[in-house]
Chain A
Amino acid sequence: MAGSNEVNLNESKRVVPLNTWILISNFKLAYNLLRRPDGTFNRHLAEFLDRKVLANRTPVDGVFSFDVIVDRLLCRIYRPPSVDEAHPGMVELERPLSTTEVVPVIIFFHGGSFAHSSANSAIYDTLCRRLVGNCKAVVVSVNYRRAPENRYPCAYDDGWAALQWVNSRPWLQSGTDSKVHVYLAGDSSGGNIAHHVAVRAVESGMEILGNILLNPMFGGQERTASETRLDGKYFVTIQDRDWYWRAFLPEGEDRNHRACNPFGPNSICLEGLNFPKSLVVVAGLDLVQDWQLAYVEGLKKAGQDVKLIYLEQATIGFYLLPNNDHFYSVMGEINDFVNSNC
């Protein structure tokens, strides 16, 4: 056992920069402490350990943020400041967006395998700020309820509530067509949430312009080749994935539940629906990639527009620190995705 662990550690070290390795390894070890074998979660310790940051109405690097409460749901809004000529020193939080240009509004669902992190976690606050600068967008980060205390469908319900709120803000409208140009985005469990909120939106006739899924969290009952091949090698184990699904899915359900496996045996047919175009980023060293690739195939088979970005040498969390090529190339793709004319 000790021998194979050494091999595992050496492999992950070779593919990420030192500070990234430290960051993700720290999460991995801390999270091991938080997951209890009986399926409960040490929430107090999790909140104690999580590094959080305040919203900041003072623009920093061209982005300011503020929090809103949407019926007990906390959302953090990030936007570039627009100068108010009458009050140059003042930042207007709900200043209407451009009436001539389209300003994308990206609703972001943070990752954490449905159990960890918050909208005000430092890593996600930083990521959202980068998205604003990168895409000239407004970002709304949703502090959805987490498992195991709040199982399916709580996170999806919260995503839906946030979407409805965003859609009904006059100050988030932009462009000559005066509507809110909504994109859904998320990493890990957040990517999963983005998909399911999009399904609900489409079923309700609400328009979503695009979905951005970064290393989305999907799974299924069978064990895929990538899971077996990469188990424990790059920060993630099958065992921990299983734990998070047990924590999120309704008790007694297996991983072929549609939340986990949207194109599996319990799938809804998306064919013919006005599902948004999708940008799906898959890391080649992520052990659930076979499920993510199956998701992409599923969308294609349903006749939906999907672009896959497969990053061979990327691990989970590559987008958390801007110290690797994958980060920059993905940011470029996201920018093109939300700012293209089609």
Chain B
Amino acid sequence: MGPYKSGISAGSSSSSSSSCAGKQSEIDGLLSGAGYKVRSSDLRQVAHRLERLETVMVNAPAEISQLASEAVHYNPSDLASWVDSMLSELNQPVPMSSDLSDLPYIDGFVAPALHQTVLSEGWTEQNTHEQQQLTVVTAVEEDSAIRLVHLLMTCAESVQRGELGLAGSLIEEMRGLLTSVNTECGIGKVAGYFIDALSRRLFSPLAVCAGSSLESDILYHHFYEACPYLKFAHFTANQAILEAFDGHDCVHVVDFSLMHGLQWPALIQALALRPGGPPLLRLTGIGPPSPDGRDSLREIGLRLAELARSVNVRFAFRGVAASRLDDVKPWMLQVGPREAVAVNSIMQLHRLLGSDSSRVSPIDSVLGWIRSLNPKIVTVVEQEANHNQPEFLDRFTEALYYYSTMFDSLEACSLQLEKSVAEMYMQREICNVVCCEGSARVERHEPLAKWRARLNGAGFRPLHLGSNAFKQASILLTLFSAAGYCVEENEGCLTLGWHSRPLIAASAWQAVSDTSAPFGRIKDNLL
């Protein structure tokens, strides 16, 4: 039995939901409840390694501080790997440069010279930044607000059941109730949007939710300025791409949605400052065709080329106009044989989840051709929400809580114009989730757990985002956003959320070859 005390067997190796204790490949249920995934069959080995680690740490206290300040940690939930990586750190004292002052990375909106000691002085656990009283949607005092939530749910339920008359009268009632709640913030504001969306679904379902692409551009830009979600997406993806490109002279980024190209100046600058000099950078930007004959993709490409030239980065741009990602064919991207490729998808993959049973599912086809490019890294950022469930009421409920939290976070923005227009950006999403069906419903957000399963199943393995990326994201948020935003680590991925609710998730992937390990770190990639 070994030196360990035997626990009460009913508890020690089963979770409340698993049925059979003792299977070798099973995860220890109790440790899983504590956030750690350890196979029951590995427990002894992990314990043994923890002992070794402790002995090493006791005998080498100076190296503990190196381990703490310089080493990059990954995926703490995989306890066995974490302990192993600590052990290998201590056996191989190769200095790892993750001291912030060494990082070449400069985000577009950050002042330079983020010296580490300055940051640790300035970091406070709770920022005393001014902010309004904020409450999660249902912790509101007013009875009317609680009643409003009830009515919204009941209305959605009747829509699902096809009781349209009832739904209609509930909408009337809710509009009346709106006059007695504060619609400037909190539940009142977001409820208004949901009532409108339900009304539209009932009475004018064919009305288009999306506006012109010019409008979309404007909304996007204000959303970018008003809150940190897109910035987080960009700098987290850029950091991962930068690391993946380490050691490569010819690199090619494929951006699934160029928009204004806001993500790329920072990467270009970081590559310019790379020790050893910048690579040749090719950027292929995918975007919808411009309606008015302008080639907006090319215009953005020209601006980026100008920037690249100013920092001496050899740069080539190509625009690929496509209304849908699954219309893009890999040959259009003209990926060269010796290029290191990064595929970057910021909130695009979920749009491919609508299934049209006559064709190969769009997501499978796109993931398939991504894989065929053999990219060094695929960066994926998605809304952390479950808005693609088959039942309308489930989607509606999820969306109500998700967008309430998003709106709460927006309250903290002090830029009034940006805030108002950002709300419209979100209102469009709400409208799409609530009103649209079939191919028109593109906002099919799925949570990280589902994306993991999908990507793993499509032949990709995760590249873990580590404590260095986490720290940078946290610091940048503290410096540039209101208090309340929170970065969390989730099994190798990073999420950004409002207080305790993650709202956007960033992950990185690589195509599996037959001989590769089940997961990797970005720096482990060899040509």
Contacts and interface: CB of A to CB of B under 8 A. Distances in A.
A268 B202 CA distance: 66
A89 B123 CA distance: 44
A324 B135 contact: no
A323 interface: yes
Contact of A17 (B6, B65, B68): B6
Interface in B25-66: 28, 30-31, 33-36, 38, 43-44, 46-47, 50-51, 53-55, 57-59, 64-65
Contact of B31 (A22, A32, A37, A44): A22
B139 interface: yes
B154 interface: yes
B73 A48 contact: yes
Contacts of B91: none
Contact of B8 (A45, A69, A324): A324
A302 interface: no
Q: Which of A18, A51, A53 gathers the greatest number of chain B CB atoms within 10 Å?
A: A18
Interface residues of B, number: 74
B7 A29 contact: no
Nearest to B76: A49
Contacts of B30: 19, 321-323
A196 interface: no
Contacts of B59: 1-2
A145 B125 contact: yes
Interface in A48-97: 48-49, 51-55, 57, 61, 66-69, 71-72, 74, 76, 87, 89-90, 93-94
A61 B17 CA distance: 9
A34 interface: yes
A238 interface: no
Contact of A14 (B3, B35, B53, B67): B3
B126 interface: yes
Interface in B474-490: 474-475, 483, 487-489
A21 interface: yes
Nearest to B393: A89
A13 B499 contact: no
Contact of A67 (B34, B47, B500): B500
B47 A18 contact: yes
A150 interface: yes
A325 B502 CA distance: 37
B35 A53 contact: yes
Given A21-B47, A66-B136, A72-B483, A36 B65 contact: yes
Interface string B84-95: 001000000000
Nearest to A149: B125
A16 B499 contact: no
Q: Taking each of B16, B34, B76, which has the highest tally of chain A beta carbons within 10 Å of its own beta carbon?
A: B34
A47 B146 CA distance: 34
A44 B135 contact: no
B7 A17 contact: yes
Contact of B488 (A28, A34, A52): A52
B136 A18 contact: no
Nearest to B86: A29
B410 to A, nearest CB: 15
B501 A54 contact: yes
B55 A324 contact: no
A294 interface: no
B389 to A, nearest CB: 13
Given A13-B3, A48-B467, A150-B126, A122 B35 contact: yes
Contacts of A37: 65
A205 B338 CA distance: 76
A49 B475 CA distance: 16
Contact of A48 (B33, B124, B471): B471
B79 A22 contact: yes
Contacts of B57: 29, 32
A225 to B, nearest CB: 24
A188 interface: no
Nearest to B43: A18
A316 to B, nearest CB: 15
Contacts of A74: 499-500
Contacts of A42: 68-69
B12 A9 contact: no
Contact of B47 (A25, A72, A89, A126): A25
Nearest to B486: A47
Interface string B113-155: 0000000100111100001011110110000001000100110
B5 interface: yes
B5 A40 contact: no
A49 B499 contact: no
A50 to B, nearest CB: 8
Nearest to B9: A323
B501 A67 contact: yes
Given A47-B474, A122-B34, A29 B44 contact: no
Nearest to B491: A51
A191 B488 CA distance: 27
A9 B54 contact: yes
Contacts of B199: none
B392 interface: no
25 contacts: A14-B4, A17-B8, A18-B44, A19-B30, A22-B36, A22-B43, A23-B31, A25-B50, A26-B36, A40-B120, A44-B471, A44-B474, A45-B68, A48-B470, A48-B489, A66-B138, A68-B136, A74-B500, A120-B500, A122-B34, A145-B126, A150-B125, A150-B126, A321-B34, A322-B8
Given A17-B12, A18-B2, 7 more contacts: A14-B5, A22-B38, A25-B54, A54-B502, A55-B500, A72-B483, A323-B30
